[in-house]
């Protein structure tokens, strides 16, 4: 095999450890390459129904509608804003870091007034600030509260259970909207138990598909509010997508290949078992974080997330000391060791690297990734604790040992 973009041959496989896009399993690749179908083919309806049913099962909802878009996560973000909020209406976006801020900027660009709570990167949502903003809103002008489950930039996961309780205790009618782009399929989630009204996701993270599908799960309350919202919209409009006809559900031709892929990916998740998938993610995250903790003993790097329990099951963000160029590290890891990891976002561009450990991964792939990163750290002469791989193996071995 030659590299698509150069004459250089890459022996073996390059390991993809970005926190999205992630490795696409062979069964999904095979589904992606199926021939498109005419829009009256009943197999297409079956695929769409399987995608909707599978996502609903994974999301923990029987009642909500799932609207799928030929779009990335930003598209699903835009759909949520466009349907729930009219110009000059207010949304509260709980500060988590780069991703809450990006969603806020998008909402502002669409003419919505955004209330933000302050955040410190690497720490969880300041619930006291959220409560203060909601309490002060005695006129109930805030239409919705947007919450990012895991901020993929800092690798920090937020508790979701407190929001519904808070809204109910304050008798505040705002909708509760959750972004699970980085977590669905990696962390347990239950839309109905959480009392979330809208949930937003995308295909290319723990759902093991290429980028290209975004979705919104919408409960009856959120749908009713969207029906009253006069804001102009068309492609994103949930009302237009509530139909039994596949053609209408997608506001035109369905993104068929992506739907075939998602159907296959959801099939893999249910075949492995949701509990097993989540446990595997927990173990791979623990192994990664054991390695990073060991490397950090060299004094040249540290976890960005300062709360060990809040460190993400999907991605680990590592801040490097001044003088170390993490993008050079990524380059060496990718080109010399065939391990692709991610860099820093926003204020952390050029200051950190991120290891994705979500989706279609097994212990050997993770160890390959960690070894490649350690190799690149060694090439650069960065001081690290040398126990990294050993500790990762210990975590994996413990998880593989039948409990007595
Ligand atoms: C990746 C991500 C997004 C954005 O998704 P895109 O497909 O890149 O537009 C939104 N939210 C979270 C939490 C993410 O991790």
Q: Which residue has the tokens 């992630």?
A: 22
* pLDDT computed for residue 4 by the predictor: 60
Query: Does 95 contact ligand 1 (Cβ within 6 A)?
Result: no
* Distance from C-alpha of 218 to C-alpha of 101, rounded to nearest angstrom: 23
For atom 8 of ligand 1, which residue has the closest CA? Answer: 73
Neighbours of 155 (CB within 10 A): 31
In degrees to the nearest 10, what's the CA dihedral of 294, 300, 304, 306?
A: 60
* Distance from C-alpha of 274 to C-alpha of 57, rounded to nearest angstrom: 10
* pLDDT computed for residue 383 by the predictor: 98
Question: What is the residue-level pLDDT of the chain in tens, covering all 404 positions?
Answer: 445 666 778 889 999 999 999 999 999 999 999 999 999 999 999 999 999 999 999 999 999 999 999 999 999 999 999 999 999 999 999 999 999 999 999 999 999 999 999 999 999 999 999 999 999 999 999 999 999 999 999 999 999 999 999 999 999 999 999 999 999 999 999 999 999 999 999 999 999 999 999 999 999 999 999 999 999 999 999 999 998 888 789 999 999 999 999 999 999 999 999 999 999 999 999 999 999 999 999 999 999 999 999 999 999 999 999 999 999 999 999 999 999 999 999 999 999 999 999 999 999 999 999 999 999 999 999 999 999 999 999 999 999 998 85
Alpha helices, DSSP H only, in 274-362? 274-296, 326-337
Q: Does residue 208 contact residue 79 with C-beta atoms inside 8 Å? A: no
For atom 3 of ligand 1, which residue has the closest CA? Answer: 73
Closest-lying ligand 1 atom to the alpha carbon of residue 148: 13
* pLDDT computed for residue 403 by the predictor: 80
Q: Who's near 81: CB < 8 A, 6+ residues apart?
A: 91, 106, 107, 110, 112
Query: Does 191 contact ligand 1 (Cβ within 6 A)?
Result: no
Can you tell me whether residue 242 is helix, strand or coil? coil
* Distance from C-alpha of 73 to C-alpha of 179, rounded to nearest angstrom: 9
Closest-lying ligand 1 atom to the alpha carbon of residue 152: 15
Is beta strand 150-151 parallel, antiparallel or unpaired with respect to 156-157?
antiparallel
- Indicate whether this model's pTM tops 0.85: yes
The pick from 74, 147, 198, 214 for probing ligand 1's pocket by mutation, whose C-beta has the most ligand atoms within 8 angstroms, reads 74
- Of 16, 36, 32, nearest to 254 by C-alpha is 36
The pLDDT tens digits of the residues spanning 322-332 come to 999 999 999 99
Query: Does 339 contact ligand 1 (Cβ within 6 A)?
Result: no
For residue 21, whether the previous peptide bond is cis, meaning omega lies within 30 degrees of 0, is: yes
Q: Which residue has the tokens 């994996």?
A: 396
For residue 294, whether the previous peptide bond is cis, meaning omega lies within 30 degrees of 0, is: no
Closest-lying ligand 1 atom to the alpha carbon of residue 75: 9
Q: Which two structure tokens, joined as six digits, stand for 172?
A: 């505040």
* Distance from C-alpha of 353 to C-alpha of 326, rounded to nearest angstrom: 6
* Distance from C-alpha of 73 to C-alpha of 78, rounded to nearest angstrom: 9
The pick from 18, 152, 185, 187 for probing ligand 1's pocket by mutation, whose C-beta has the most ligand atoms within 8 angstroms, reads 152
């Amino acid at each position: 095999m030659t590299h698509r973009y150069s004459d250089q041959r890459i022996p073996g496989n390059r390991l993809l450890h970005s926190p999205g896009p992630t490795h696409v399993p062979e069964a999904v690749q095979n589904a992606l390459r199926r021939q498109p179908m005419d829009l009256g083919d009943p197999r297409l309806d079956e695929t769409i129904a399987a995608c909707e049913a599978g996502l609903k099962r994974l999301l923990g909802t029987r009642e909500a509608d799932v609207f799928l878009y030929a779009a990335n996560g930003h598209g699903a973000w835009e759909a949520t804003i466009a349907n729930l909020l009219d110009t000059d209406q207010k949304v509260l976006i709980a500060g988590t870091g780069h991703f809450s801020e990006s969603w806020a900027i998008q909402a502002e660009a669409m003419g919505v007034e955004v209330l933000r709570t302050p955040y410190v990167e690497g720490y969880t949502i300041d619930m006291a600030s959220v409560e203060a903003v909601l309490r002060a809103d005695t006129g109930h002008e805030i239409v919705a509260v947007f919450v990012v489950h895991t901020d993929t930039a800092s690798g920090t996961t937020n508790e979701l259970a407190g929001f519904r309780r808070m809204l109910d205790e304050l008798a505040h009618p705002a909708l509760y909207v959750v972004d699970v782009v980085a977590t669905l399929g990696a962390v347990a989630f239950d839309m109905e138990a959480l009392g979330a009204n809208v949930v937003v996701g995308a295909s290319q993270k723990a759902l093991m598909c290429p980028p290209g599908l975004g979705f919104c799960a919408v409960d009856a309350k959120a749908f009713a509010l969207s029906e009253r919202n006069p804001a102009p919209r068309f492609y994103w409009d949930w009302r237009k997508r509530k139909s039994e006809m596949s053609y209408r559900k997608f506001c035109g031709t369905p993104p068929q290949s992506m739907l075939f892929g998602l159907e296959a990916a959801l099939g893999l998740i249910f075949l492995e078992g949701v509990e097993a998938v989540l446990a595997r993610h927990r173990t791979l995250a623990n192994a990664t974080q054991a390695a990073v903790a060991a490397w950090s003993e060299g004094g040249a790097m540290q976890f960005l997330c300062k709360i060990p329990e809040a460190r993400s099951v999907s991605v680990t963000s590592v801040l490097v000391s001044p003088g170390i160029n993490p993008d050079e590290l990524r380059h060496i890891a990718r080109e010399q060791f065939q391990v692709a990891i991610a860099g820093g976002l926003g204020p952390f561009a050029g200051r950190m690297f991120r290891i994705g450990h979500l989706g279609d991964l097994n212990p050997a792939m993770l160890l390959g990734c960690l070894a490649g990163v350690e190799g690149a750290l060694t090439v650069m002469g960065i001081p690290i604790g040398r126990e990294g791989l050993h500790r990762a193996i210990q975590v994996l071995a413990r998880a593989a040992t039948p409990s007595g």
